A and B are shown apart, each in its own frame.
Chain A
Amino acid sequence: MNKNVSLYSIVGLILWLNGTFSPRNRTENFLQMPVQAQLISETKSIKPGTKFCVAVRLVMDEGWHTYWKNPGDSGLPTSIEWTLPEGFIADDIQWPFPQLFETSDIIGFGYESEVCLLTDIEAPSGLKTGSVVRLSASVEWLACREECVPGRSELTIELPVKERSPEPDARWAGYFASTRKNLPAVSSQWEISAALKRNKISIQVLPTGIFDRKMTDIVFFPEQERLVEYSEPQTIQKIDDGYSIEIQRSNAAAKIPSRLKGVLYTPQGWDTSAELRALLVDVSLDNNL
């Protein structure tokens, strides 16, 4: 009898351990975290009635990437859902230009190693100085290497409300500065136009003044989905003083939009100091069909 009881308890103990430490639980909860997320603020405090900038910083393990707002053929854009005190308004994510990932003709647009997703938040003017404000972000991403793993993180920071102008937080200043260099921007030095020509979309980018650096490498990252074929090579031609970029339209093309949106990237830089690598494209798409 006694022997039986102990046998039962051993079997019971084994079953219990199995349930608690089953490999399934373990992998789902602990092992598969190729991305670490962090919420950082550019300034050490908030001033009532002003905008301040925060960032979700994603640090990816080697070989893993997360996605841009248009993820490409597969993948999922990272999303941030804010929970803010009353009166606070968060803007959209400011996405740095992405890089291109290719495996067997399937194209992804995203980031490897690390990325900061900047967001401006406006504090209400009636905010009481001396109080502390709590900002929460629910962040979801898809990380892919060969395989893909979805991730989610609930992030929070607390910032004091002060009347004086906020001081930058020295710990993060470098991240904000380097990320801003990678944000697509409009340049008065370039004029962009786009037209639909049969089954191609043609983008022209012409200098407004004299620009004598020769670009050898230009890539258009489309913001809109199902407009162009990502895996088709983009044809770059020198025209007059500028360039034309031709891209094959998508087979599964959605309705033709009236504007073309995206990013024109060159590692050589669009400005004289070669710092502006990504031009913001938001131009009317002329239909020459």
Chain B
Amino acid sequence: MKRTILTSVFILFGFFTALAFAANQMEAEIGKAAPDFTLPDSNGKSHALSDYKGKVVVLEWLNHGCPFVKKHYGSGNMQALQKAYAEKGVIWFSVISSAPGKQGYCTPEQANEITKDKNAAPSAVLLDPEGSVGKLYGAKTTPHMFIISKEGALVYNGGIDDIRSTDVEDVAKAKNYVRIALDELLAGKEVTEKTSQPYGCSVKYKD
């Protein structure tokens, strides 16, 4: 009897460990497979991350009401990165995880309008009003940048650059981590700085 209890305890323990392990596997971790997701874009087209195996993918968390985002769009920094790396075959997704009623939330039409207005050039603007993909990746700020390698591994998680401010003038002086990581990846090298402190406004998830 005692033995049976002990055995079931062990089985249960094993089960929970396996569960915890599975949960851990699903989270975004540097060097591991980037968690797959499917989201609609602002034109109603559905994108799965797994559709882009063989391409470098950038995820940029976006809220156009946030002063840190305004810094990088007002200076043209973000658009320039989007355009430069689109030419090199990089897929760039701007992800909006703001919940309805919160700052930065966009209907598909509003997302298209503001993308045009800012002269932005992402491959697509993905809409995540439930915040599930934001939470899956642990996106904390706008902007918060993630880079996924051609092999589908998460290779960068952090800020866009190393000067944490809302000041447009800092853009030119800053070390742009995303540009450096993308150049390294495209040259077939390992990304040297894989994480940095993301800075910005908090992502306006649903309550």
Contact = CB atoms under 8 A, between A and B. Distances in A.
Contacts of B135: 105
A251 interface: yes
Interface string B146-162: 00000000000110000
A252 B195 contact: yes
Interface stretch (A6-14, A140-148, A153-161, A165-173): A140-148
B195 A144 contact: no
B202 A142 contact: no
A37 to B, nearest CB: 16
Q: Is the interface of B mostly helix, strand, loop or mixed?
A: loop
Interface in B86-123: 102-103
A105 B205 contact: yes
Nearest to A104: B205
Contact of A251 (B67, B138, B141): B138
Given A74-B140, A146-B103, A252 B166 contact: no
Given A76-B199, A252-B158, A146 B138 contact: no
A132 interface: no
Given A73-B140, A73-B141, A74-B200, A148 B195 contact: no
A186 interface: no
B198 to A, nearest CB: 8
Interface string A62-76: 000000000001111
B169 interface: no
B98 to A, nearest CB: 10
Contacts of A105: 135, 205
B140 A225 contact: no
B18 to A, nearest CB: 18
A148 B27 CA distance: 28
B158 A147 contact: no
Given A73-B140, A251-B27, A251-B138, A149 B202 contact: no
Nearest to B131: A104
B192 interface: no
Interface residues of A, number: 23
B27 A73 contact: no
Contact of B29 (A106, A142, A146, A251): A251
Nearest to A254: B195
A103 interface: yes
A144 B166 CA distance: 13
B59 to A, nearest CB: 14
Nearest to B142: A74
Contacts of B206: 104
Contacts of B140: 73-74, 106
Contacts of A144: 201-202
Contacts of B197: 225-226
B142 to A, nearest CB: 8
A1 B199 CA distance: 60
What are the 8 tightest A-B residue pairs by CB atom distance, in nearest-first order?
Answer: A104-B205, A74-B202, A150-B166, A106-B202, A73-B140, A252-B195, A148-B201, A74-B141
16 contacts: A73-B202, A74-B140, A74-B199, A74-B201, A74-B202, A104-B131, A105-B135, A106-B140, A146-B103, A147-B66, A147-B103, A148-B68, A150-B166, A251-B28, A251-B29, A252-B195
Interface of A: 73-76, 103-106, 108, 140, 142, 144, 146-150, 225-226, 251-254
Given A76-B165, A146-B204, 4 more contacts: A74-B201, A104-B203, A147-B201, A251-B27
